[in-house]
Amino acid sequence: MANYPQHLVRVRELSDGKTVTIRPIRPDDIEREQAFVRHLSEESRYSRFMAQLHELSASRLRYFTEIDYDRHLALVAIATQDALEVEIGVARYVALPGAGSCEFAIVVDDAWHGSGVASILMAALIDAARERGFRTMEGTVLTTNQRMLKFVRRLGFVVLVDPEDPGTLRVVRPLGP
Does the pLDDT value for residue 97 go beyond 70?
A: yes
- Taking residues 20-33, what's their average pLDDT? 96
Determine the average pLDDT of the residues in 44-64. Answer: 84
> Looking at residue 91, what is its pLDDT?
97
pLDDT score, position 9: 97
Spatial distance between the Cα atoms of 137 and 139, rounded to a whole number of angstroms: 7
Q: What is the mean pLDDT of residues 138-164?
A: 94
pTM of the model: 0.93
Mean pLDDT in residue range 6-17: 94
Q: What is the pLDDT of residue 107?
A: 94
pLDDT value, residue 177: 66
pLDDT number for residue 83: 87
> Considering Cα of 120, then 122, then 127, then 128, what sign does the dihedral take?
positive
What b/e sequence results for 134-148 when a residue is b if at least 16 CB atoms lie within 10 Å of its CB, and e otherwise?
Answer: beebbbebbeebeeb
